[in-house]
Amino acid sequence: MFNTQIDAIVPMLCVTLAALASMTAEALRGKDERMPIGLLGIVGLVFAAVASVLLWGRNANGFGVIVADNFGLFVTFLLALIGVLTIMFSSQVLERDGLPSGEYYALVLFSIVGMMMMATATDLLVVFIALEVLSLAVYVLTAIRRDHLPGTEAAFKYFLLGAFSSAFFLYGIAFTYGVTGSTRLAAVGSYLSAQSMASNPMVLLALGLLLVGFAFKISAVPFHMWTPDAYEGAPAIVTGFMSTGVKAAAFAAFARVFLSAFEPFKAEWAPVLSLIAIATMVLGTVVGVAQSNLKRMLAYSSIAHGGYLLVGLVAANQVGKAAILFYLLAYSVTNLAAFGVIALLGTRDKANDSLRDYAGLWHTRPALAALMTVCLLSLGGLPPTAGFIGKWYIFSAAVSAGYYGLAVIGMLTSVISVFFYLRVVVMMYMADRDGEPVQVRITGLGMAALAVSIAAIFYLGVLPTRVLDLAASSIATIF
């Protein structure tokens, strides 16, 4: 470690160097040479995770705009875990689909750099830069299969809507600067706390514009329209990466901006977020029931889970803040494993992501059926999985903060969502397949990633206390 300012950006430097190494390896290797480029990415992400652990409790400040506090380090470690699992799942997909591995891994790693920057940024302009870094990489990843028309269409829709949301976010930063004279979160919060500005329409306009930008990235209603198409069109493992990494980074920045800089205006933004949370939970659950494509179903599931996370953000008590971090961890390992199963079962010519494609999976691929069942039960919030503990603490936070309506609606939608998760389970165990069973070769690396994910799901569901304590201690230092 060189000094405090450099220390704060060490995790991002590790991942950046790994991305550059991946690009160099792709350029240098021969056409027939098989080079384990993904291993370079895993090494960089492991070093980033180790750096996060070593920086814990030091509150290193990087050049006044990046802070490696415990909150940011918790999310950084989570993003490193998401990156490692994504690369492990991706090795089989890249070989099967003939995708350029160096380009793919570099894009994944650069997007993770943007996510880490977004989670640790303390300046609105840096948050915007990080948002663009991760977004541009994810746009390209969505259309990484250039011969796949639905993926290209999905990426184009995602790009256009993302550009609009970025414009809203940038205007929100401009109005914030116009009112407070700064884009630093600490300075903005201090100014708003010191001044009596409750009736200032400029602050409310800035809040609304920033809210639109964040709501788009977390797929909150009514800014969710890109999610089903992008999730269905992208390769399954890219969809899993988008649904976990982007959401974790966006919620980290969302919480840091709204619970620190704009905390004096909580009375104004909390009711709006409550309505958005309700609409997000209800739409994600109700529309998800009608889906026959598994990726679209999980897309609406992701929308609903964004609503549950918004409940914790609205509650904003110590339980709710810690529950946000725990829920992000539980949701990430669960959803990434579910999309990992879809990715491993796909072929180059057929994605095998329809509900009927999973009929009788228990008889042909019992291990994958069992692992997928665990993931679906966790997404539904059934014990003894991580999803149950995450929802328990989210709803407990809402009740303790007096948001009884949010807690009730959250529990009801969670119960309804169990129906479409169990529908997949019933299809795997009790339905007969119409045609030939899916014939794919599952690599050991992919199964290892699934094993790690399932172990994490059960660990967080059975022994969550240690992780909850870490989440509570990390978020208590900044809010």
Task: State the DSSP string of 173-212.
Answer: HHHHHHHHS--BHHHHHHHHHHS--TT-HHHHHHHHHHHH
Instruction: Decide: helix, strand or coil at residue 443.
Output: coil
Q: How far apart are CA 182 and CA 191, in angstroms?
A: 9
Token reading at 54: 């070593």
pLDDT at res. 408? 95
Give tens-digit pLDDT for 268-297: 899 999 999 999 999 999 999 888 889 999
- Report the DSSP pairing between strands 60-62 and 66-68: antiparallel
Helix pair angle (201-217, 149-180), 10° resolution: 160
Q: How far apart are CA 348 and CA 356, in angstroms?
A: 18
AA identity, residue 417: S
Stretch (H or E) spanning 337:
helix 318-345
441: pLDDT strictly greater than 80: no
Q: How far apart are CA 367 and CA 364, in angstroms?
A: 9
Q: What is the DSSP string of 56-72?
A: TTS-EEETTTEEE-HHH
Rounded Cα distance, 386 and 333, in Å: 9
Q: Name the H helices within 431-464.
A: 444-462
Taking alpha carbons only, the member of 97, 112, 101 closest to residue 46 is 112
Which pLDDT does position 53 carry in this prediction? Answer: 94
> What's the whole-number average pLDDT of the chain?
89
- Alpha-carbon span 87 to 102, nearest angstrom: 12
Whole-structure pTM value = 0.95
Give the list of residues 6+ apart from residue 330 with CB closer than 8 angstroms, or none: 378, 386, 387, 389, 390, 457, 460, 461
**pLDDT value of position 2:** 47
Residues 6+ apart with CB under 8 A from 282: 307, 409, 413
* pLDDT at residue 261 tops 80: yes
Nearest to 231 by CA among 141, 299, 303, 285: 299
- 56: nearest Cα among 45, 41, 42, 72: 72
Rounded to whole angstroms, the Cα distance separating 86 from 102 reads: 14
Confidence of residue 436 (pLDDT cuts 50, 70, 90): low
Higher pLDDT, 254 or 359: 254
> Token digits for 70?
């415990």
pLDDT for 1 equals 42
Q: Which amino acid is at 137?
A: A
pLDDT band with cut points at 50, 70 and 90 for residue 390: very high
pLDDT band at 199 (very low <50, low <70, confident <90, very high): low
* Per-position b or e across 327-348, b if 16+ CB within 10 A of its CB: bbbbbbbbbbbbbbbbbbbbee
Give CA–CA dist 475/326, Å, rounded.
11
Q: What is the mean pLDDT of residues 165-187?
A: 93
The span from the CA of 70 to the CA of 224, in Å, is 30
Confidence (pLDDT) at 479: 59
326-382 residue pLDDT tens: 999 999 999 999 999 999 888 777 777 888 888 888 888 888 999 999 999 999 999
Which of 234, 237, 239, 94 is CA-nearest to residue 150?
234
Tokens for 325, please give them.
């971090």
**What is d(CA 198, CA 268) in angstroms, rounded to the nearest whole number?**
9
Confidence check: pLDDT of 189 > 80 = yes
200-253 pLDDT, tens digit per residue, is 788 899 999 999 999 999 999 899 888 998 998 889 999 999 999 999 999 999
Residues ≥6 apart with Cβ < 8 Å to 435: none
**The token pair that represents 180 in the structure block:** 């407070």
Q: How far apart are CA 190 and CA 137, in angstroms?
A: 35
Q: How confident is the model at residue 146 (pLDDT cuts 50, 70, 90)?
A: confident
AA letter at 59:
N
pLDDT band at 399 (very low <50, low <70, confident <90, very high): very high
Is pLDDT above 60 for 471? yes
Is it true that the peptide bond before 235 is cis, omega within 30 degrees of 0? no
Q: Is the pLDDT of residue 383 over 60?
A: yes
Mean pLDDT of 256-262: 90
The set of residues, in sequence order, having a beta carbon less than 8 Å from that of 194 and lying 6+ positions away, is none
* Mean pLDDT for the stretch of residues 419-440: 80
Phi then psi for 227, rounded to 5 degrees? -65, -55
3-state helix, strand and coil shares in percent for the chain, rounded to the nearest 5: 80, 0, 20
pLDDT digits (tens, 9 = 90+) for 21-80: 999 888 887 665 566 888 999 999 999 999 999 999 888 887 788 998 999 999 999 999
The contacts of residue 456 (CB under 8 Å, 6+ apart) are: 333, 386
Q: What is the rounded distance in angstroms from the CA atom of residue 230 to the CA atom of residue 460? A: 30
